[in-house]
Amino acid sequence: MYLSKLLLNPRNRQVAKDQANPYELHRTLMRAFPPFDHEAERVLFRLEGTHLDEVLVQSTLAPEWGGLPDSYLIRPPGIKEFGPLALQPGQPLRFRLRANPAKRDAESHKRVGLYKEEERLQWLDRKGAQHGFVLVAETIVVRPALWREMKLPSGKDRKQTTAKVNVVDFDGVMKVVDPGQLQTAIEQGVGPAKGLGCGLLSLARL
């Protein structure tokens, strides 16, 4: 896999457009990759920095950042290639996750956001059980993130519509339960809205 760090040029018009809308950011980032099977390959990203001027991009394909618009970056991108992590059961790790906590409505079968902190933490607990980790609860910090509302294309005609996306940042400490399941979560992302900058699970040693 590859982890890229991009430092955006705040004077670039496309950068301003992408900072305001993750759908547009996703479209721009995809310029660095050839057409690919989204079921087999994965590109995850997260907009960061005090001024939203950094993007972390994790991909299973090698990126070609020369395909970005002119003057989009203020310095050459940093790219690091890495393999499977040496994870051990019981190992504590610091983590960061931007996620879209949601559930399926029983009647409409539509995905609805979870807005209460207790519901969001329960959602993360369920994801932990699914992806091979358990939370160290007293370390969890939940905070609302970006993009409460955004313009997204909808329908066959792809007209712009306003959508409300429940985006939350989780920071804390987890313990590894199943290294294989957790490695898959790192590679494939956690939760929905991956094309809108959610799902990238970042880990670091304590």
Q: Which long-range contacts link 47-50 to residues 24+ away (Cβ below 8 Å)?
A: 47/19, 47/22, 47/146, 47/197
Span of 45-54, 126-135, 194-203 with lowest mean pLDDT: 45-54
Taking residues 68-75, what's their average pLDDT? 96
pLDDT confidence of residue 109: 78
pLDDT confidence of residue 37: 76
Taking residues 58-76, what's their average pLDDT? 95
pLDDT confidence of residue 176: 98
Under the banding of pLDDT at 50, 70 and 90, the label for residue 160 is low
* Contact predicate 86/203, CB 8 Å: no
Phi, psi dihedrals of residue 95, rounded to the nearest 5°: -135, 160
Which CA distances in Å does 165 have to 58, 69, 107, 168, 194?
A: 22, 27, 20, 10, 12
- What percent of the chain clears pLDDT 70, i.e. is strictly above it? 88
pLDDT confidence of residue 112: 84
The owner of tokens 């029983």 is 106
Residue extent(s) of CATH 3.30.70.1210 domains in the chain? 92-205
pLDDT tops 70 at residue 163: no
**CATH code matching the domain that covers 2-81, chosen among 3.90.1640.30, 3.30.70.1200, 1.10.3720.10, 3.90.1300.10:** 3.30.70.1200
For domain 92-205, the CATH architecture is 2-Layer Sandwich (3.30)
Task: Give the separation between CA 163 and CA 147, rounded to whole angstroms.
Answer: 10
Residue extent(s) of CATH 3.30.70.1200 domains in the chain? 2-81
The residue ranges of DSSP E strands in 49-113, in sequence order, are 54-59, 78-81, 92-99, 102-104, 111-113
Taking residues 110-138, what's their average pLDDT? 91
Under the banding of pLDDT at 50, 70 and 90, the label for residue 148 is low
pLDDT tops 70 at residue 152: no
